[in-house]
Amino acid sequence: MKKYVWFVMILFIVQVVPKMHVDSGIHFQSAQAWADDNYNFTELTPAIKRALERRRARHDTLRELKANGSVGEGKSGHLVNLSGSAKIQAVVDDENYDREIIYQAIVDQNNLGRGSIDTVRSAYAQTYRKKADPGDKIQMPNGDWINK
Amino acid sequence: MRYFLYVNLIALFAVTLVGCTAKVVGDRNRPITIEAHVTIDIRGLQQTASSIEDYVSGDNKVSLDDLVANSKK
């Protein structure tokens, strides 16, 4: 009698338990992001590569525009046209388009959650302020524009 | 008594062959959503931003591979 019970129990554990699939019906909306040393890309997609290369190619032009005060670094991680020129606005739009590709990729590839994009923009804005050359126009977190 | 054991045994074999799925399904009208708390290390973001900007500015010390996590350098 006892050996049958043991046999059934062992058979259950060996054969059935590994096949059991429990779906609790609870799904996480956003993943936990752990504090890490950095938030690098996990994969350089063609879109990210193109955005980085376009930004690199545009760098010298923007350096000149920053130096003469036509553009400045905004508080939200975007370049801002301070000149009113439509031609400069086109350059600014292109730059901000590429920046957004990078911000979104950082959020997506590091599972930071949809609501984190503003945090990423702010962190990048702080880096742009830090890396700005003396005399460049930068916008502080309170909205004030200053010459660095 | 022995009869019941045999029946159980046969039932168990049947379940084993077909596979077993235990599924707990909640109320569709009241879905359970857990908002996970996301902790972001701002310094980590700035560190990444700094590397990207170094690359964009033409710094030859930073390559595309440096911008990828766990890349082989």
> Residue A25 domain-assigned?
no
d(CA A112, CA B34) in angstroms, rounded, equals 15
Identity of the highest mean pLDDT range in A14-23, A49-58, B39-48: A49-58
The total number of structural domains in chain A stands at 1
What letter does residue A42 receive in the DSSP assignment?
A: S
Q: What is the pLDDT of residue B36?
A: 64
> Residue A22 domain-assigned?
no
- Nearest by CB to B67, from A4, A41, A115: name it: A41
What's the rounded mean pLDDT across residues A60-75? 97
Contact B34 A123 (CB under 8 A): no
| % of chain B surpassing 70 pLDDT | 52
Contact B38 A11 (CB under 8 A): no
> Residue A27 domain-assigned?
no
> Residue A123 domain-assigned?
yes
A33 pLDDT band, cuts 50/70/90, is very low
Q: What is the pLDDT of residue A35?
A: 46
Taking contacts as CB-CB distances below 8 angstroms, the residues of chain A near B52 are 52, 102
Measure Cα distances from B54 to A27, A55, A87 in Å: 39, 11, 26
- Nearest by CB to A59, from B22, B36, B56: name it: B56
> Residue A90 domain-assigned?
yes
> Residue A121 domain-assigned?
yes
| Token pair of A134 as six digits | 């003396």
| Token pair of B15 as six digits | 């379940």
d(CA A64, CA B55) in angstroms, rounded, equals 18
- Nearest by CB to A52, from B22, B48, B55: name it: B55
**In chain A, where does DSSP find H-type helix?**
2-11, 46-67, 86-109, 117-131
What letter does residue A85 receive in the DSSP assignment?
A: -
> Residue A135 domain-assigned?
yes
> Residue A4 domain-assigned?
no
| Mean pLDDT over each residue of chain A, to the nearest integer | 86
* pTM for this prediction: 0.68
Q: What is the pLDDT of residue A68?
A: 96
Question: ipTM of the assembly?
Answer: 0.73
Q: Say if CB A25 and CB B24 are below 8 A apart.
A: yes
Domain of A93 in residue numbering reads as 42-147
